[in-house]
């Protein structure tokens, strides 16, 4: 999927960095910052896909740990 970040260069860099570190999200490509018509803002495009192994882990019910039933 394509994601577009829109903001100041610092905001877009911080947002892209967080997306790179988001579990279950794989960033395949990141564009250079394109200047917006307003002058101070930029657009950055990311191509991402969801990691199917991470999705499987998220959809599994939480395991219960020991303890006796009373």
pLDDT of residue 65: 52
Q: Is the pLDDT of residue 14 over 70?
A: yes
- CA 7 to the chain's CA centroid: 16
Mode of pairing for the β-strands spanning 42-50 and 34-35: antiparallel
Count of structural domains within the chain: 1
Residue 32 lies in a domain: yes
Residue 31 lies in a domain: yes
Q: Could you tell me the pTM of the whole model?
A: 0.70
Residue 59 lies in a domain: no
pLDDT by residue (tens digit) across 15-59?
A: 999 999 999 999 999 999 999 887 899 999 999 999 877 655 555
């Amino acid at each position: 999927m394509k994601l577009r970040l829109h903001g100041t260069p610092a905001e877009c860099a911080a947002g892209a960095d967080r997306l790179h570190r988001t579990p279950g999200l794989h960033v395949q490509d990141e564009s250079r910052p394109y200047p917006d018509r307003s002058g101070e803002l930029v657009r950055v495009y990311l191509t991402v896909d969801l990691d199917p192994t991470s999705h499987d882990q998220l959809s599994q019910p939480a395991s219960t740990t020991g303890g006796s039933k009373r």
